[in-house]
C-alpha cells in the first residue's frame, strides 16, 4: 500500500469512528458541546488531506492527536468501561500503518491513564457486582489490549526492516545501473575506437584505389559497428534507459531509409522490394528519426534474412489523431513465416526466436527485441501476423507530431495524361508479388488522383492508347527486353518510357528511354510525372549539399594516434587545415597559442577527459577574447549521450565511426557564418 492510499485509509477509518462517537454521545447524553468539536476536527483533517498544504509528517501527527482525543472522550465515560480495550486495540491496529512506534506506545499509555480514571469511577460505584464474569472481563480486556500492542509493535518493526531491505536493494540496483552505464559507456568507447580506425583507414585505402580488399574491410567494419550498436541498444531497452532525440524530419526520408537500407543489406537472392507510401502522409513530422532509421534496418534485415524467394512489401501511411498522427509502418515478406510460439517469444522481448533459425541465417538475434523496445519507448506498439511457410507482416504504430500538414507527395496541377504500368504477372514466381504491386499502384493512383492503368501485354497497351491520352509508361527490364524496338519507337514520340532496372542495365546508345533505379516507388514516379528527369538515381529526403571548408582550421584532440590519422585524412577532402593534440592538456596549450575555427574533442582520455578540457578551452577563449567552437567526437554513444554532451556545453556531437553526412550537418550548423562553400571547389 503506498503512502497516499495509507493516508486515505486511515483518515476514512478515523472519520467513521468520529461519526460513530458523535451518534453514541447524543444517544447517551454525554457533553453536548463536544460533538461539534469532533465534526469540526474531522472536516479540518479532510481539508488537510485534500489540499496537501502541510507536510506528510505534520498531517500524521494531526491525525494521531485527533484520534487520541476521540479515544479519550470515549473512554472517560462509565458506560464505556468494557469498550475501552476494543477501541484502543482498533486504534493501535489502524495507526500501525503509519509505521511510527511512538504512536503505539502513546496509545498504550493513554489506555493505562483511561483505565486508572475508570478505576476511580468504578471504586465509587455501589451498583457494580464483582462476579466471576466481571472479574474475568476486567482481566481479559487489558490482556487483549497488550497482545494487540505487542503484535502492532512487531508488525511495525518488521515493516521497517522490510523497507530498509528494499531501500538497500534499490540502492544496489541504482548502483548497478550506474555501474552498467559506466560499463556500456566504456565498452562502447573501447570497441568503437578500433572500429573507427578500421572504417576510416579503409576509406582512405578506397580513395587510393587499393582494390576490392579495402571494400571488404570497410564492409566488415560497418557490420561490426552495427552489431556493437545492437548489443548496446538491446541492453538499454531492457533496462528502460532509452532516450528519445526528437527532431523535425521529412516523411519522404523514411522511404529513402527503406531503399538505402535495402541496397546496403545486399540482395544476392534477387528479392523484389515494393515500397508503398501514402501521398497524404504529412510532409514534415517530429520524432526520433534515428530510431526510425534503425527500426527500418532491423525489419528489413529480418525480412531479407528469412525470405528465400519473392520479395518484401513496405507500406507507410498515417492516421490522424488529436496529437498529430499515428505513423503506421507495415513490413510484409514472403519468407518462411513464424509459429505462434515464435511470435509469443518475440513479443516477450526474448533475444532470439529460435537459436537454430538465427544461426543458420546470421546475425545475433536482437533485431525484434530492439524494435519492440524502440516502439514502446516512443509510445507505440508492434503487432506481428504470420503463418509458418506463408510469410510475415510486422505492423508498427508510432505517435508523431505534425510540423507541416502538406502532403508529402503530389503531382503538379499542370500535369495532363494517363499513366500505364506495364508489368507481366507471369514473371513473378511468387503470386503475392503481383498483389503487392497492385496495392502499390492502386494506393498511388488514389493518393495523387491521377488515372493509372495496368497493361500486361503490348496488345493491351495499344488498346488503351486508342481510348486514353497515354503520357507515361512504367515497366521493368523484362518487359522492355521482350519488346525493345516497340518501346524505343514510342519513346521517340510524346510518350515517356521509364524502365525500372538495377545498376547493370544500360539502354542502347542514343535511346530516349529513362532508367529508374530499382525499386519502383512513388517518389521517382511523381518526379518523372512532374517533368524532373535529369537524375532519377538521386536519393531524396533531407538534402544537404556536400560542404567544402577551405581554409577552416580545426584542432582534433584524441589520445588514440590512429584516430588522429583517420580524422586528418577524412577532413582533408573538405579543405580543412587540421592540427592534432594527444591529450586535453596539449589541446589547451595549442588553443592558447593558436587560432582554430573548431575543436573536435574526444571524450574519454586519461588525466583530463574531454568535458573538462572543453570547459578549460572555453575559459581560455573567454580570457583571450576568442570564440571557442567545440564539437565532441566520441565513441561514447549510449542512449542520451548527445543530450548529456550538449548540456555540458559542447556545440555539436559526432559519433565514431564518423558518418560523413552527420559530420557535414554539424559543420554547417556550428560554422554558420564562417568560411564555407557548397559543392565542388571552394573560393
| Secondary structure in 3-state letters for 93-115 | HHHHHHCCHHHHHHHHHHHHHHH
Residues 6+ positions from 20 with CB-CB distance below 8 Å: none
Among 310, 303, 326, smallest CA distance to 394 is for 303
Q: What is the pLDDT of residue 365?
A: 61
72, 95, 128 - which closes a domain: 128
Q: What are phi and psi of 510, to 5 degrees?
A: 80, 5
Residues 383 and 518 in one domain: no
34-38, 162-166, 211-215, 260-264: which range is least confident on average? 260-264
> Where does the pLDDT of residue 129 fall: very low under 50, low under 70, confident under 90, or very high at 90 and above?
low
Residues 453 and 511 in one domain: yes
375, 407, 439 - which closes a domain: 407
Residues 229 and 279 in one domain: no
> Where does the pLDDT of residue 169 fall: very low under 50, low under 70, confident under 90, or very high at 90 and above?
confident
Structural domain includes residue 401:
yes
Burial class, 267, CB count within 10 angstroms (exposed 0-12 / middle 13-18 / buried 19+): middle
Q: What is the pLDDT of residue 328?
A: 94
198-207, 413-422, 607-616: which range is least confident on average? 198-207
The end-to-end CA distance of the chain, in Å, is: 71
pLDDT surpassing 50 at residue 541: no
Beta-bridge partner residues of 381: 397
Residues 297 and 403 in one domain: yes
Residues 35 and 84 in one domain: yes
CA distance 91 to 106: 11
Residues 226 and 311 in one domain: no
Report the percentage of the chain scoring pLDDT > 70.
88
The two beta strands, 470-476 and 496-501, are parallel
Higher-pLDDT residue of 92 and 201 is: 92
pLDDT digits over 25-69, tens only?
888 888 888 889 999 999 999 998 888 878 888 988 999 999 999
Owning domain of residue 346: 247-407
Total structural domains within the chain: 5
50-59, 66-75, 284-293, 637-646: which range is least confident on average? 637-646
Residue 439 maps to which CATH number? 3.40.50.2300
Under 8 Å between Cβ of 281 and 317: yes
Residues 401 and 424 in one domain: no
Whole-number Cα distances in Å, 5 to 2, 8, 98, 311, 661: 5, 5, 11, 56, 53
Structural domain includes residue 217:
yes
Residues 208 and 274 in one domain: no
Residues 6+ positions from 628 with CB-CB distance below 8 Å: 591, 599, 617, 618, 620, 621
Structural domain includes residue 637:
yes
Under 8 Å between Cβ of 365 and 384: no
Residues 255 and 323 in one domain: yes
Residues 6+ positions from 76 with CB-CB distance below 8 Å: 114, 117, 118
Residues 85 and 107 in one domain: yes
pLDDT surpassing 90 at residue 614: yes
Structural domain includes residue 72:
yes
Residues 460 and 556 in one domain: no
Report the percentage of the chain scoring pLDDT > 90.
20
The two beta strands, 514-517 and 577-581, are unpaired
237, 269, 295 - which closes a domain: 237
Residue 381's SS3 state is strand
- Across the chain, mean pLDDT equals 82
C-alpha cell, 676:
564555407
> Where does the pLDDT of residue 340 fall: very low under 50, low under 70, confident under 90, or very high at 90 and above?
confident
Structural domain includes residue 148:
no
Query: What is the per-residue burial (b if ≥16 Cβ within 10 Å, else e) of 327-344?
Result: bbbbbbbbbbbbeeebbe
Structural domain includes residue 275:
yes
Residue 354 maps to which CATH number? 3.30.565.10
CA distance 335 to 430: 11
Structural domain includes residue 162:
no
CA distance 443 to 234: 36
pTM to 2 decimals? 0.62
Among 461, 318, 328, 466, smallest CA distance to 395 is for 328
Among 537, 437, 421, 423, smallest CA distance to 478 is for 423
pLDDT digits over 256-284, tens only?
777 777 776 766 678 888 889 898 999 99
> Where does the pLDDT of residue 498 fall: very low under 50, low under 70, confident under 90, or very high at 90 and above?
confident
| Three-state secondary structure of 137-197 | HHHHHHHHHHHHHHHHHHHHHHHHHHHHHHHHHHHHHHHHHHHHHHHHHHHHHHHHHHHHH
Residues 256 and 392 in one domain: yes
Structural domain includes residue 534:
no
Whole-number Cα distances in Å, 19 to 46, 70, 80, 561: 14, 10, 16, 81
Amino acid at each position: 500500500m503506498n503512502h497516499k492510499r495509507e493516508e486515505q485509509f486511515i483518515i476514512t477509518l478515523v472519520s467513521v469512528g468520529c461519526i460513530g462517537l458523535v451518534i453514541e454521545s447524543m444517544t447517551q447524553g454525554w457533553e453536548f458541546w463536544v460533538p461539534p468539536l469532533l465534526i469540526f476536527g474531522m472536516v479540518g483533517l479532510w481539508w488537510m488531506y485534500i489540499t496537501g498544504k502541510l507536510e506528510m509528517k505534520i498531517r500524521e501527527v494531526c491525525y494521531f492527536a485527533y484520534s487520541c482525543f476521540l479515544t479519550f472522550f470515549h473512554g472517560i465515560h462509565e458506560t464505556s468501561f468494557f469498550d475501552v480495550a476494543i477501541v484502543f486495540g482498533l486504534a493501535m491496529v489502524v495507526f500501525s500503518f503509519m509505521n511510527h512506534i511512538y504512536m503505539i506506545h502513546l496509545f498504550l499509555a493513554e489506555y493505562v491513564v483511561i483505565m486508572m480514571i475508570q478505576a476511580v469511577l468504578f471504586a465509587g460505584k455501589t451498583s457494580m457486582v464483582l462476579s466471576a464474569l466481571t472479574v474475568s472481563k476486567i482481566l481479559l480486556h487489558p490482556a487483549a489490549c497488550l497482545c494487540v500492542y505487542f503484535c502492532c509493535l512487531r508488525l511495525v518493526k518488521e515493516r521497517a526492516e522490510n523497507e530498509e531491505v528494499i531501500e538497500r536493494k534499490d540502492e544496489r540496483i541504482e548502483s548497478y545501473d550506474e555501474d552498467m552505464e559506466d560499463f556500456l559507456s566504456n565498452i562502447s568507447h573501447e570497441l568503437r575506437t578500433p572500429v573507427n580506425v578500421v572504417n576510416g583507414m579503409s576509406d582512405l585505402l578506397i580513395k587510393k584505389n587499393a582494390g576490392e580488399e579495402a571494400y571488404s574491410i570497410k564492409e566488415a567494419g560497418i557490420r561490426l559497428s552495427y552489431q556493437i550498436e545492437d548489443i548496446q541498444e538491446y541492453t538499454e531497452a531492457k533496462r528502460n534507459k532509452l532516450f528519445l532525440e526528437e527532431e523535425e524530419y521529412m516523411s519522404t526520408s523514411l522511404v529513402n531509409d527503406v531503399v538505402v537500407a535495402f541496397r546496403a543489406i545486399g540482395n544476392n537472392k534477387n528479392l523484389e522490394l515494393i515500397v508503398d507510401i501514402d501521398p497524404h502522409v504529412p510532409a514534415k513530422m517530429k520524432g526520433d528519426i534515428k530510431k526510425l532509421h534503425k527500426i527500418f534496418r532491423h525489419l528489413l534485415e529480418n525480412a531479407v534474412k528469412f525470405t528465400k524467394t519473392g520479395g518484401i512489401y513496405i507500406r507507410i501511411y498515417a492516421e490522424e489523431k488529436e496529437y498529430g498522427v499515428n505513423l503506421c509502418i507495415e513490413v510484409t515478406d514472403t519468407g518462411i513465416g513464424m509459429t505462434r510460439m515464435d511470435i509469443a517469444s518475440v513479443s516477450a522481448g526474448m533475444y532470439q526466436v529460435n537459436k537454430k533459425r538465427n544461426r543458420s541465417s546470421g546475425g545475433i538475434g536482437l533485431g525484434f527485441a530492439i524494435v519492440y523496445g524502440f516502439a514502446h519507448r516512443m509510445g507505440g506498439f508492434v503487432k506481428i501476423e504470420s503463418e509458418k511457410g506463408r510469410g510475415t507482416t510486422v505492423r508498427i504504430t508510432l505517435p508523431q507530431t505534425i510540423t507541416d500538414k502538406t502532403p508529402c507527395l503530389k503531382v503538379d496541377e499542370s500535369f495532363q495524361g494517363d499513366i500505364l504500368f506495364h508489368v507481366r504477372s507471369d514473371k513473378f514466381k511468387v503470386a503475392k508479388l503481383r498483389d503487392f504491386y497492385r496495392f502499390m499502384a492502386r494506393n498511388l493512383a488514389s493518393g495523387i488522383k491521377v488515372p493509372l492503368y495496368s497493361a500486361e501485354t503490348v496488345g493491351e497497351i495499344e488498346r488503351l492508347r486508342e481510348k486514353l491520352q497515354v503520357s507515361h509508361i512504367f515497366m521493368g527490364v523484362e518487359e522492355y527486353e521482350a519488346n525493345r524496338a516497340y518501346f524505343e519507337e514510342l519513346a521517340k514520340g510524346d510518350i515517356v518510357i521509364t524502365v525500372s532496372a538495377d545498376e547493370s542495365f544500360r539502354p542502347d546508345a542514343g535511346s530516349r528511354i529513362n532508367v529508374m533505379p530499382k525499386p519502383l516507388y512513388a517518389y521517382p514516379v511523381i518526379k518523372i510525372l512532374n517533368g524532373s528527369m535529369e537524375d532519377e538515381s538521386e536519393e531524396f529526403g533531407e538534402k544537404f549539399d556536400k560542404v567544402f571548408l577551405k581554409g577552416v582550421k580545426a584542432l582534433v584532440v584524441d589520445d588514440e594516434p590512429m584516430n588522429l590519422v583517420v580524422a586528418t585524412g577524412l577532413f582533408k577532402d573538405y579543405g580543412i587545415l587540421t592540427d592534432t593534440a594527444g591529450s586535453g592538456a596539449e589541446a589547451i596549450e595549442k588553443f592558447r597559442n593558436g587560432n582554430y575555427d573548431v575543436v573536435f574533442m574526444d571524450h574519454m582520455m586519461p588525466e583530463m577527459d574531454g568535458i573538462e578540457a572543453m570547459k578549460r578551452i572555453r575559459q581560455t577563449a573567454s580570457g583571450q577574447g576568442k570564440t571557442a567552437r567545440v564539437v565532441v567526437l566520441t565513441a561514447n554513444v549510449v542512449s542520451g549521450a548527445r543530450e548529456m554532451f550538449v548540456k555540458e556545453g559542447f556545440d555539436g556531437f559526432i559519433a565514431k565511426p564518423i558518418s560523413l553526412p552527420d559530420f557535414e550537418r554539424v559543420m554547417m550548423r556550428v560554422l554558420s557564418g564562417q568560411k564555407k562553400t557548397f559543392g565542388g571547389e571552394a573560393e
